[in-house]
Amino acid sequence: MFSKQFAVTVVMATLASADATLTKSKYPEVIPGPGLPSLTSLNLTSEQLYTMTPKLVSRGLSAALYDPECREYPCYCPGGMAQVNDIIACYNYLNNLGSTNCGVMAYQAKSTMCASGTAKVDAMNNSPNLELPVIVRCADAAAGVQYVYQTCNNNGQARGSAAAWGNGYLIVRSQNVNYDGWCMPTVSAMQKRARRKNKKSKSISKS
């Protein structure tokens, strides 16, 4: 009798452990970049960042200083696409940082601000003054991520870059976590980009 009760207890404990493991692994871990606040300090979890509705920003982009672009597959160097849901999780993280500083100290240097699942979000210093750091509010850097997951979405995957709002010298790049390169866009991608530019130009001229 004792052995049966023990066996039932072991089985129940095993099932509970399996359920806990499934719940824990359902969403990838959202990993903040070096020096940025932890999820615990923000009272957030990876699950929340994956399931919350993105709070879209309407601040626009610093288009005069950097022209946002999508880097779509197939490309000359494929493998850089990331799942859009993973990019959005990083967007939610950065947007929740609000006025916390995000930036890069040295010219042409880059820093990873967030990584999750298949995606990472990097920032790059593109300032013409080689000695100055480029710092923005993390919520403004999130505007560059928003552009990518909204504009560059290709069947649930995306890769692209855009400037942070208010500072066209901080380039925010969203792509695959295992990809460090930046390839040239395909002809079709460049054609799409040209159409977007023409559409934007016509809209401005009409106004």
- Residue ranges of the domains in the chain? 28-198
Q: Which position has the higher pLDDT, 60 or 153?
A: 153
* pLDDT band, residue 66 (cuts 50/70/90): confident
Q: Find all residues with CB under 8 Å of 123, minimum gap 6, and list them.
A: 102, 103, 104, 110, 111, 113, 141, 164, 170, 171, 172, 173
Would you say residue 21 has pLDDT above 70? no
Give the residue carrying structure tokens 């695959």. 176
pLDDT in tens, 78-101: 678 899 999 999 999 999 999 999
| DSSP notation for 92-122 | HHHHHTTTSEEEESSTT-EEEEEEETTEEEE
